Structure 1
Amino acid sequence: MTTFRLGPFPVARVGYGAMQLTGPGVFGPPASRDDAIAVLRTAVETGVNHIDTAEYYGPRVVNELIREALHPYPDGLAIVSKVGARRDDAGAVLPYDEPDELRRGIEDNLRTLRVDRLAAVNLRLMGDSPPDGRFDAQLAAMVTAREEGLIDGIGLSNVSLAHLRRALAVAEIVCVQNSFSLLDRASMPVLQECARRGIAFVPYVPLGWPRDRREAIFNNPAVDRLARRYQATPAQIALAWLLALSPNVLLIPGTASLRHLRENLAVDRIELDRDATNQLDSAFA
């Protein structure tokens, strides 16, 4: 697989997002713990060295599965988590983003995963608030965690271009994780800024969200034509388009299926030419 640096880690451009290894609504245990373990182990055995997770997936469910499946972790495996949210007993996602809460969130991830240090942790913003003094305090908590050796790198998630530029004024940022797909290109300025600065850009929900919107991709005539031309699935074409955007794009497609995992990892071998990317850009303009 081709690679790009995520902080000090050279990682394969197709990684694995572990969010789907839970029950419905990213809450509770998976239908089959054995299947979840098998997906994680197969991912690493077939070249994945970048896994995205969060303590509030489940909550704790995904991190516990990662620990059970992969600990002791192989050298070079970059486990990236995120903080800024929590789940209540009913599964609702609530803010957990005061500076002391961010610190506890990092420590909870370390404890559950049974590691001393994480490759990166994303500060996930809840909502679309502009950068302000509160954001500065959140960043300060992340910088302290890095300086104290709890994390190798600071990431951001769900941020605007203004957030990114403000953060870069006070800290090195190793990755940005924003919603991005053929259906949602609002973060293109953020992706472009990351590319200029050598920062990894990690699109989440790369096939669209909610799930029923994916049909707008899968049933699009241009996607169908290209899937037949490249002998690929529509999902693979949509993911390959993301890889073609810029060398700093790192994918973390999630699945609980071994078949879909193998299809996702094969995307790195699909090189869309300029005509193909132009067709997709036009189809989803």
Structure 2
Amino acid sequence: MGVADSGTIELGGRAVHRLGFGAMRITGPGIWGPPRDHDEAVRVLRRSAELGVTFIDTADSYGPFVSEELIREALHDGRGYGDIVVATKGGLTRSGPDVWPPLGRREYLRQCLLMSLRRLGVDRIDLWQLHRIDPRTPREEQFAEIKSFVDEGLAGQIGLSEVTVEDVKEAQAAGVPVASVQNRYNLGDRRAEELLDYCTEQGIAFIPWAPVDAGTLARPGGPLEEVAKAHPGTTTGQLALAWLLRRSPVMVPIPGTSSVAHLEENLAAADVRLTDEEFETLSQAA
């Protein structure tokens, strides 16, 4: 079992497997504080690397700081992360569980980046993403600052999160080399369809968060369960991930978990092959 069959995409300056790992759930409840089981969180990260994951997505706000610190503890080899591209995000503040107000002031974004460099133990972030565009700060200031991260060699690439096609075009017009976007998207929530199509045309990596949440499509007797009958031993979650991987060559799903068993289950989706009919059935059901 491994993720090599998920295909590859150029991201963070190198080719990575398209089925990655999202490191939000290795923190405490409400994405606040340390995980309930520190050792299991470390095992999850190390097992992801053993199974061939070469793209890990995190953020300074996960914990806050906890996720980045665990990634360094588990995977840093004293020089860096080898073949693994570690992407992180900045631009949110935390004052408690499940509280995520954006802050896009230039000095704060720079602080986010510099502190992520320190916590991750690197001289450059492979892919640094603006977690949200702050509506209270002029966009041109936010875009100018994140562009400077690449110009100064502090970040290899820049990404945006929870944006529209117009947001991406505006950032591109401001000179930001947008390499990725990260929006909520899954089989049951297709609101970012237009953005995905734009990313596919532009060759921009699309990193869907909540990739396994298929909503009512995963209900007993629903479309996913019906398709699963033709794939013995395959879960509806694995089918949802397989559908994402087939939906676009720029798709980079990052299912997250805090348990090794669930990690292995998610990553096994790389081995699932949907027929043309099955893919269309699920696409139309959504």
- TM-score normalized by structure 2? 0.92
- Give the match for residue 257 of structure 1: 259
- CA drift at 1:98: 1.1
Q: d(CA) in 1 for partners of 2:179 and 2:258?
A: 27
Deviations 1:96-137 (A, max 9, x none): 21121111111111111111111111112257x6xx982221
For the 8 Å contact 1:13–1:250, the answer to whether it is kept is: yes
- CA drift at 1:171: 2.1
- Give the match for residue 185 of structure 2: 180
For the 8 Å contact 1:3–1:10, the answer to whether it is kept is: yes
Give 2:280's match in structure 1, choosing from 278, 281, 284: 278
**Stretch moving more, 181-190 or 85-94:** 85-94
Going from structure 1 to structure 2, the CA distance change for 1:252 and 1:218 (only over 3 Å counts) comes to: farther
For the 8 Å contact 2:92–2:131, the answer to whether it is kept is: yes
- Give the match for residue 268 of structure 1: 270
For the 8 Å contact 1:14–1:252, the answer to whether it is kept is: yes
Going from structure 1 to structure 2, the CA distance change for 1:114 and 1:225 (only over 3 Å counts) comes to: same
Correspondences of 1:20-39 after superposition (within 5 Å): 20-39=25-44
**Stretch moving more, 91-100 or 214-223:** 214-223
Q: d(CA) in 2 for partners of 1:89 and 1:201?
A: 29
Q: d(CA) in 2 for partners of 1:90 and 1:186?
A: 27
Identity across matched positions, percent: 38
- Give the match for residue 207 of structure 2: 202
What runs of 5+ residues in structure 1 fail to find an aligned partner?
none
Correspondences of 1:237-256 after superposition (within 5 Å): 237-256=239-258
- Give the match for residue 81 of structure 1: 88
Q: d(CA) in 1 for partners of 2:16 and 2:119?
A: 23
Q: Does 1:107 align with 2:111?
A: no
- CA drift at 1:45: 1.5
Aligned residues: 277
For the 8 Å contact 1:236–1:263, the answer to whether it is kept is: yes
Report the AA paired with residue 54 of structure 2.
Answer: N
Q: d(CA) in 1 for partners of 2:221 and 2:169?
A: 36
- CA drift at 1:181: 0.9
For the 8 Å contact 1:4–1:12, the answer to whether it is kept is: yes
Q: Describe the SS at the equivalent of 1:20.
A: coil
- TM-score normalized by structure 1? 0.92
- Give the match for residue 122 of structure 1: 129
Q: Does 1:171 align with 2:180?
A: no
